Amino acid sequence: MRYVVLDTETTGLSPEQGHRVIEIGALELNDRQATGRTFHVYLNPDREVDAGALEVHGLSNEFLADKPRFESIANEFLDFIADAELIIHNAPFDIGFLNSELARLDKGKLAGYCSGVLDTLKQAREMHPGQRNNLDALCKRYEVDNSNRAYHGALLDAQLLAEVYLAMTRGQDSLIIEMAALTPRHLEQGAGPVELTVLRADADELAAHAAYLAAMSKEAGGEVGYW
Inside any domain, residue 35: yes
Inside any domain, residue 212: no
Q: What is the pLDDT of residue 184?
A: 43
35 or 180, greater pLDDT: 35
Q: What is the pLDDT of residue 151?
A: 86
Inside any domain, residue 11: yes
% of the chain with per-residue pLDDT over 90? 73
Average pLDDT over residues 56-62: 97
Inside any domain, residue 161: yes
76: CB partners within 8 A, 6+ apart: 39
179 or 118, greater pLDDT: 118
Active site residue 19: no
pLDDT digits (tens, 9 = 90+) for 60-103: 999 999 999 999 999 999 999 999 999 999 999 999 999 999 99
Q: What is the pLDDT of residue 176?
A: 37
How would residue 201 be classed by pLDDT, with cut points 50, 70 and 90? low
Q: Which domain holds residue 106?
A: 2-171
Average pLDDT over residues 124-152: 95
We report the CATH number of the domain holding residue 90 as 3.30.420.10
Q: Domain count of the chain?
A: 1
Return d(Cα 77, Cα 39) in angstroms, integer: 7
pLDDT digits (tens, 9 = 90+) for 154-175: 999 999 999 999 999 996 543 3
How would residue 111 be classed by pLDDT, with cut points 50, 70 and 90? very high
Inside any domain, residue 162: yes
Please give the DSSP secondary-structure letter assigned to residue 82: T
Average pLDDT over residues 35-48: 98
Q: What φ, ψ does residue 7 adopt, rounded to 5°?
A: -145, 155
Inside any domain, residue 91: yes
How would residue 220 be classed by pLDDT, with cut points 50, 70 and 90? very low
Q: Which of 53-67, 106-120, 192-206 has the lowest mean pLDDT?
A: 192-206
How would residue 150 be classed by pLDDT, with cut points 50, 70 and 90? confident
Q: What is the mean pLDDT of the chain?
A: 85
The pTM assigned to this predicted structure is 0.76
Inside any domain, residue 104: yes
Question: Which of 19, 57, 89, 152 is labelled catalytic?
Answer: 152
95, burial (CB in 10 Å: exposed 0-12, middle 13-18, buried 19+):
buried
How would residue 192 be classed by pLDDT, with cut points 50, 70 and 90? very low
Inside any domain, residue 227: no
How is 157-199 classified by DSSP, letter by letter?
Answer: HHHHHHHHHHHHTHHHHHHHHHHHHT--GGGSTT--PPPPPP-
